[in-house]
């Protein structure tokens, strides 16, 4: 049942999605005006109607919805890539994660959702405006108790110790590698996102100097398919590149 | 500090990995014999030596280690694909998941690690021998409180209700779609792994008949890279296909 | 030296390309007006200038230019895919090729360029308007002696015999397979382009019924790279799907 | 009709392929002994039998057969990649091509087959043993009049002028770029195969210094499919990387 001020996802009949709050406000949709106060008392899975009578399904927001609808700065880490960190490190409830730079906080939110309620994500960000966007998104996701955005340059050090996972999405991650080595517990993972090959070429010598094993770099390509009656085929276009993901384990 | 009977990961200097238990037993490694009783009292991150004097780093096992070292039946869902379910559904702590068929339990373990401690994964398996392997792996992972393996044919129904996520890795998932529709809460996700296009062709009509939105099918290709001094390039060979992943959201 | 009425490629300083004819006509370019009569007597490799003084290099057109600049109908076979036919069949000078449907003639031109001067490409097309576009493109490429566009429904039969290669780009290629079997010489190849998996599913039973060996289906993905000082990486987007290519050899 | 000493392809009923010469010799096959003298007088498309009575189809060899069956040194340019040169340059009958290093001659043969009878491929090779293998393969393909293997270090210069296409498959192609620039006619193409990113990083500054336009680098991934009754899917494994192909046009 939606309560006053609560967030909800609205799905229209064409699959368009809205992330809203139950409040006294009109929402302009592609299918007419919708009074958000109408959401009050509707059970999740129920429906509301726009002034033109079109139906919207009311759903409880999940992290996948929040990551789609949050305010994003350019060059966000995409879920397909963030998920490879889960695949290779097994990050989960209770883990202590250090992340940087926060950017709009997409990766911090993604990880915060996985380590809650007892784990913690500390996300470093050197730019105040970015940190503000990230904090706004943490509030949107209701992860204030789990994700902390720290206004600090990671190149000057990582304050946390006994860390399970350090994720880096920075122009020069090689400068942070020694700090990550200090912060990580033995068996913990470093995961680095880098769009260019030059960054890999600078990163590896630094990793090889440190106490790291199981070095691995990968790229993840996701291709969507169209399954229609009589015509099943891949979509015509796809993302050809986002970031390389490099993993290393602290020993 | 490793205690009697506790599991530990041993990494040798060449990156080879062993999943062992601290007990009175000799382990034959590629670098000599190792007395597993020597592990007792060693702190995680510490080292033990084989009879030839070669060092092994002692680490606390993480889910990524367990998934690599558990007993696997053929056609296991790989972490790269399981991770795409996380990317698209945001499954996390506290969620109720229904999975089937369990097979060796790799996907159930992967998900169990993410929903613990308050969530639950119920994994259906129709073959008794498979169910036994899956249960053995649940014990190995210490997830007895979170993952339950049920010896039951999913085509006869799903008993759970209010489910957040149903994952299917079955030859004819289309037969289970109506049961998944009953079991899922509004806003919950169905995620189906299928190796062949014919399975997609049978699955979609069933999904379109049901109360599902946000239908999407994707394939995930992961390519590894070799980053060596003066020679950075993709690896020569890669997995070209595992499974298509189809996602649908219960409305 | 460009002669009256001859075709030439003009490359501007930004890499934009024009396919023109040396004649008394003004060309509007992004860098000003260009009098095409100025091309007369200019050696290939020489330069002409627009009225704003910007330079254009004058080059002799190659097939790659013609395929880029010819009039194209939708769903043309792309050079990357046409080239896979060369890779797998070794089609070359002197070969007799039957092609259908012609569409805008892109594949017929590509193959005509390879079998000339003594080989021949006969391209079937059932729509008169398409056949006209194809013939226009044959003239543009100067391949009138090599490529013949036949206004005829291939499903009613192929008239040629002793054919080295039959290429099909049709909605229902399976209907033409028996005719291709008759037309091909032993050792000759059938190459079929099909966008959907359903077409493959209808094609294979027909191929297996006929005198064909070495059946193979493939898809070809081409990803471009950006090599910039300090930033080498794949382009962000790519074509994810064009057509499957199926090859079979007449025995 | 196969004549004495002529080459022929034999295909057994399982699709295994043999490249043989019609001569008084016994061939050991997986399906029994075959007297190669039996080939004499058999028409192409006809059949011969082994001593166990198993049939073999007799076919006229095509370039695709020769490239599969020729003697290969490691790191040969594969047809899938060679074909992209055709796609992007339109190389065809009559063209003058300079190639280096020859290696086992696979690329020279592939191109020789396309430029014959009036074109020419000059293939440079600095190692005498490689040049000998390449010459042997040229004889095997019957391309003696079209492909010339030159024992010479390409870094010391290219002797030909007015060249339509220069293909390089060398460890340091950047050292040959100025020579290629001299040798190519305006509008001609340079095509460079390089396995590593470091080679691209050294190549581009050299190309940008020279009179080249239309610079492009690409990688070509080919995935095979299995089309079986009721189970259509990509093959499980594939080549993940061979070479990057860089193209540049002389202006």
The verdict on D142 touching C (C-beta cutoff 8 Å) is no
Q: Do C84 and D80 touch (CB under 8 A)?
A: yes
This prediction's pTM: 0.94
Confidence band for C14, pLDDT divided at 50, 70 and 90: confident
* Predicted local distance difference test score (pLDDT) of residue D13: 84
**What's the whole-number mean pLDDT along residues B127-153?**
96
Q: D170 to chain B nearest CA, in Å? A: 14
Closest Cβ opposite residue D15 in set C86, C213, C226 = C213
**Are B64 and A90 within 8 A, CB to CB?**
yes
Predicted confidence (pLDDT) at residue B82 exceeds the cutoff of 90: yes
Q: Which residue has the tokens 């061979």?
A: D242
Nearest to C93 among D116, D186, D234 (CB): D116
Q: Would you call D83 an interface residue with chain C, using a CB distance cutoff of 8 Å?
A: yes
Q: Are strands C120-125 and C26-29 parallel, antiparallel or unpaired?
A: unpaired
Whether the CB of B198 is below 8 Å from some CB of chain D: the reply is yes
Whole-angstrom distance, CA of residue C109 vs CA of residue C96: 13
Which residues on chain A are in Cβ contact (under 8 Å) with B216? 224
Q: Summarize pLDDT for B24-72 with one digit per residue, the tens.
A: 999 999 999 999 999 999 999 899 999 999 999 999 999 989 999 998 8
- Name the residue of chain C whose CA is nearest to D57's CA: C251
Measured in degrees and rounded to the nearest 5, phi and psi for residue C157 equal 130, 155
Question: ∠ CA(D9), CA(D13), CA(D17), 5° rounding?
Answer: 30
Q: Is A64 in a helix, a strand, or coil? A: helix
Does residue C13 register a pLDDT over 90?
no
What structural domains does chain C harbor? 7-61 (3.10.330.20), 65-250 (3.40.50.150)
Supply the angle between the helices B106-115 and B128-140 in degrees, to the nearest 10: 40
Neighbours of chain B (3+ CB pairs under 8 A): A, D
Query: Among B198, B231, B234, whose Cβ lies nearest the Cβ of D240?
Result: B234
Q: Given a cut of 90, is residue B125 above it in pLDDT?
A: yes
Helix (H) and strand (E) counts for chain B?
6, 15
Interchain CB distance below 8 Å, D241 and B235:
yes
Structure confidence by residue, pLDDT tens digits, C188-203: 999 999 999 999 999 9
Q: For chain C, where are the E strands, in sequence order?
A: 7-12, 17-21, 26-29, 32-35, 47-49, 55-59, 96-100, 120-125, 147-151, 163-168, 184-194, 212-228, 231-234, 237-239, 244-250
Question: Tell me, what's the pLDDT at B74?
Answer: 78
Q: What's the rounded Cα separation, in Å, for the pair D149 and C169?
A: 39
Span B228-233, average pLDDT? 96
> CA–CA separation, B77 vs B72, rounded Å?
10
Digits of tens for pLDDT over chain A (251 positions)?
Answer: 899 999 999 999 888 999 999 999 999 999 999 999 999 999 998 999 999 999 999 999 999 899 999 988 878 899 999 999 999 999 999 999 999 999 999 999 999 999 998 999 999 999 999 999 999 999 999 999 999 999 999 999 999 999 999 999 999 999 999 999 999 999 999 999 999 999 999 999 999 999 999 999 999 999 999 999 999 999 999 999 999 999 999 98
pLDDT confidence band for C23 (50 / 70 / 90): very high
Alpha-carbon torsion angle A54, A58, A62, A64, nearest 10: -10
CB C180 within 8 A of CB C166: yes
In angstroms, what is the C-alpha Rg of chain D? 21
The pLDDT tens digits for C80-116 are 999 999 999 999 999 999 999 999 999 999 999 999 9
As a whole-number percent, the residues of chain C with pLDDT over 90 amount to: 91
Residue C157 has pLDDT above 90, yes or no: yes
Q: Among A196, A230, A237, whose Cβ lies nearest the Cβ of C239?
A: A237
Min CA distance, A222 vs chain C (Å)?
A: 10
Does D86 or B74 have the greater pLDDT score? D86
Q: What is the pLDDT of residue B37?
A: 94
Point out the least confidently predicted range of B60-74, B132-146, C135-149, D177-191: B60-74
| Inter-residue contact D161 to D138 (CB < 8 Å) | no
Interface check for C234 against chain A (CB to CB < 8 A): the answer is yes
Note whether C241 contacts A232, CB cutoff 8 Å.
no
**pLDDT per residue as tens digits for the range B85-122:** 999 999 999 999 999 999 999 999 999 999 998 999 99
Of B63, B227, B229, the CB nearest to A217: B227
D55 in C contact zone (CB under 8 Å):
no
- Residue C73 pLDDT grade (very low, low, confident, very high; cuts 50, 70, 90): confident
A-B Cβ pairs (cutoff 8 Å, strict): 176
Look over chain C and give the mean of its residue pLDDT values, rounded to a whole number: 95
Residue A144, CA distances (Å) to A2, A140, A147, A165, B176 in order: 21, 9, 6, 20, 39
pLDDT surpassing 90 at residue C158: yes
ipTM of the complex: 0.93
Predicted confidence (pLDDT) at residue C8 exceeds the cutoff of 90: yes
Picking from A77, A97, A101, the residue whose alpha carbon sits closest to that of residue A154 is A101
Kindly tell me if the per-residue pLDDT of C72 is higher than 90.
no
Give long-range contacts, CB 8 A cutoff, 24+ apart: B21-28: none
> Is D187's CB within 8 Å of C232's CB?
no
Q: What is the pLDDT of residue A1?
A: 86
Long-range contacts of A35-44 (CB under 8 A, 24+ apart): A39/A2, A39/A8, A40/A2, A40/A3, A40/A4, A41/A1, A41/A2, A42/A1, A42/A2, A43/A1, A43/A2, A44/A1, A44/A2, A44/A8, A44/B185, A44/B186, A44/B187
Sequential pLDDT tens for chain D (251 residues): 899 999 999 999 888 999 999 999 999 999 999 999 999 999 998 999 999 999 999 999 999 899 999 988 878 899 999 999 999 999 999 999 999 999 999 999 999 999 999 999 999 999 999 999 999 999 999 999 999 999 999 999 999 999 999 999 999 999 999 999 999 999 999 999 999 999 999 999 999 999 999 999 999 999 999 999 999 999 999 999 999 999 999 98
Per-residue pLDDT at D74: 78
């Amino acid at each position: 049942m939606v309560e006053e001020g609560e967030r909800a996802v609205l799905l229209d009949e064409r699959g368009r999605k809205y992330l809203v709050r139950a409040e006294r406000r009109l929402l302009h949709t592609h299918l007419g005006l919708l009074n958000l106060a109408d959401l009050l008392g509707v059970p999740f899975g129920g429906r509301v109607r726009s002034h033109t009578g079109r139906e919207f399904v009311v759903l409880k927001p999940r992290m996948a919805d929040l990551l789609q609808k949050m305010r994003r700065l350019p060059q966000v880490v995409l879920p397909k890539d963030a998920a490879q960190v889960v695949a290779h490190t097994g990050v989960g409830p209770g883990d202590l994660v250090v992340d940087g730079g926060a950017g709009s906080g997409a990766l911090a939110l993604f990880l915060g959702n996985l380590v809650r309620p007892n784990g913690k994500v500390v996300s470093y960000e050197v730019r105040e405006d970015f940190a503000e966007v990230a904090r706004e998104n943490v509030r949107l996701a209701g992860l204030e108790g789990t994700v902390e955005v720290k206004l600090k340059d990671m190149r000057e050090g990582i304050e946390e110790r006994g860390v399970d996972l350090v994720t880096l999405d920075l122009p020069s991650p090689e400068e942070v590698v020694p700090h990550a080595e200090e912060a990580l517990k033995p068996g913990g993972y470093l995961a680095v996102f880098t769009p260019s090959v030059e960054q890999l070429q600078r990163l590896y010598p630094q990793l090889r100097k440190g106490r790291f094993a199981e070095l691995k770099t990968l790229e993840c390509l996701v291709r969507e398919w169209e399954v229609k009656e009589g015509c099943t085929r891949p979509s015509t276009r796809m993302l050809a590149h986002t970031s390389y993901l490099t993993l290393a384990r602290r020993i």
